[in-house]
A = this chain, B = another copy of it.
Amino acid sequence: MSEANVTRPSGRTPEQPREIRLTREFTRHAEGSVLVEFGETRVLCTASVVAGVPRWLRGSGKGWLTAEYGMLPRATHTRNDREAARGKQGGRTVEIQRLIGRALRAAVDLKKLGEYTITIDCDVLQADGGTRTAAITGGCVALVDALQGLQRERKIKTDPLVSLVSAVSVGIYKGVPVTDLDYPEDSKADTDMNVVMAEGKGLIEVQGTAEGAAFDRAELNALLDLAERTGEQLFAAQRAALGMPADA
């Protein structure tokens, strides 16, 4: 690892994430609606609340949260087939929406939520790497808006939010650990890791994948260090967007 010499395509330093923007109330119908931008990656995250839960939870007093992910056909450099037209969601889509669901369920105390189901829809308007981590970070803000709405309407009494949850992708690019990979980096990285964090709590999910050579524990640790540092910036951005005080 020769950190001194690397030049990221964007000119960012290794520990520098892209500009993060979180625009609440981006659309008007959903209980939470957030446009999240990690640089050129733009994902529209909505939180929809309905009374009732899936059959296997009925009568349990517990709520449920699920997530769906989609990419507009031309969010990418070349057009991808529309999944609705092909008649099925691709493997990548399924894998990502399961990750988002697990990540955001960790943000909520489902008992306090009561028998409501929240669906987080994450639709990628423009892709430039890191869509799943942007989706988790933005989806959490939409979720908080939905939870606050439920409290404001006195449908639930206590705040089910356990902690803010955010995510970032980190990777080893030309031998150097860097944070928040954009597409040009992502497509060339040796190792790629998505890290989901709960503010003040620790790690929710770590998914690290060697893209060519295997990676070692030192590299893993360097990547996690980077992710945790970026996590602080993500939590700060979430707090700012939500008008929450700066410290948890």
Separation in Å of the A111 CB from the closest CB of chain B? 12
What is the interface size of chain A, counting residues whose CB is below 8 A from a CB of the partner?
Answer: 65
Q: Are B205 and A210 in contact (CB under 8 A)?
A: yes
Residue of B nearest to A35 (CB): B125
Chain A interface (Cβ within 8 Å of chain B)? Answer: 27-30, 33, 40, 42, 44, 46, 48, 50, 68, 70, 72-79, 82-85, 87-89, 91-95, 97-98, 102, 106, 119, 121, 123, 125-127, 163, 193, 197-198, 201-210, 213-217, 220-221, 224
| Beyond known contacts A91-B94, A205-B209, A206-B207: 18 more, CB 8 A cutoff | A28-B40, A29-B75, A29-B78, A44-B72, A50-B78, A68-B82, A70-B82, A72-B123, A74-B121, A84-B84, A84-B93, A88-B88, A91-B98, A94-B95, A202-B210, A203-B210, A207-B208, A220-B224
Residue of B nearest to A47 (CB): B74
A202 touches which of B203, B209, B214 (Cβ 8 Å): B214
